[in-house]
Amino acid sequence: MGHGAGGARVINAAELCSRLTRRSRSNFYYAFLALPRPRRDALYAVYAFCRTVDDIADDVGANPEAQRGALAEWRDDVRRCYEPAGEPRHPIARRLALAVQRYPIPRTALHAIIEGVEMDLDRPTYETAADLYPYCYRVASAVGLCCIEIFGYTDPRARDYAVNLGVALQLTNIIRDVGADARVGRVYVPQEDLAAFGVTVDDLRASRYGPPFVALMRHQAARAREYYARATETFPVADARALVPAEIMGRIYRALLEEIEARQFHVFADRVTVAAHRKVAIAVRCWAAARFSREAPHRSRAA
């Protein structure tokens, strides 16, 4: 017997999730390449969910009420993912439902991701780093908490590792995209840091590069490195093999931060990236360290 319309729908949704991840050239893609197919498919579904809800907020010309309505629909679809007889409407949500059935992905983390995206609709500013932390947790750490359930782990410290690494990755993103974000009304650099280094929001919008901006960005980079260090401290060595994809992500983003620093924080003109061949090299080294070495991947020599 054939799969019928329902089977075809699921297959098409799987292709959509995979295509979204490949097309994005996301660092996620390189981290997931060597995973077994069921885990990879589940992670593609999580990534596609994150990408889709993020795109709702990134549509700067859209009506805010319509955006909130779209996010409300996603909340409803997430609810349906966890109901025994629930039928999510969005094709990506249907793939997410399959992932939720197979792995203990926390519903609270999926809702936190939507809440983080919704924060962007208000174009908020953050007075201190402590004020920024909940945003970073929702849009990045919550993603990590979903992913580690798919990777698998035995040590509860894996959750602390995921939270710390997520904040580090988001702080790196904020540095890279500081000019582009400011031009659409989003300023994630804490206001007290801007004041301390004599940089204004207008300076960010106008891409004014100079010693005050560089000093400000060095301060932001130091904060990101603190969270990378915390991730290393909380890394559960017993789960080193299972968490290799997370380590690949961390290594790629650390390489991105190093690239930004090497360019003296020239982030206004071009979006700084890590070359694809370097991402592949980082992924191969992490997988090889986990498979063939007794040394935990996060302690091996940096790619």
* pLDDT tens figures, 9-56: 444 555 555 554 555 446 666 677 778 899 999 999 999 999 999 999
Question: Is it the case that residue 7 has pLDDT exceeding 50?
Answer: no
Query: Are 1-122 and 124-303 equal in CATH topology?
Result: yes
Q: Whole-angstrom Cα distance, residue 31 to residue 143? A: 14
* pLDDT tens figures, 128-137: 999 999 999 9
pLDDT at 35: 83
* Cα-to-chain-centroid distance, residue 80: 24
Lowest mean pLDDT among 98-102, 244-248, 264-268: 244-248
pLDDT at 11: 45
Question: Is it the case that residue 8 has pLDDT exceeding 70?
Answer: no
Question: Is it the case that residue 144 has pLDDT exceeding 70?
Answer: yes
Q: Where are the domains of the chain?
A: 1-122, 124-303
Tokens of 222: 């130091």
* pLDDT tens figures, 179-231: 999 999 999 999 999 999 999 999 999 999 999 999 999 999 999 999 999 99
Q: Which CATH superfamily is domain 1-122 in?
A: Farnesyl Diphosphate Synthase (1.10.600.10)
Query: Contact, 53 vs 114, CB < 8 A?
Result: yes
> How many residues appear in the chain?
303
For residues 170-185, give the mean pLDDT: 96
Question: Is it the case that residue 116 has pLDDT exceeding 80?
Answer: yes
- pTM score: 0.87
User: In 3-state terms, what secondary structure has residue 102?
Assistant: helix
Nearest to 151 by CA among 39, 67, 5: 39
Tokens of 192: 């007290």
Architecture (CATH level 2) of domain 124-303: Orthogonal Bundle (1.10)
Tokens of 22: 């490949």
- Which DSSP helix (H) or strand (E) runs through 226? helix 211-234
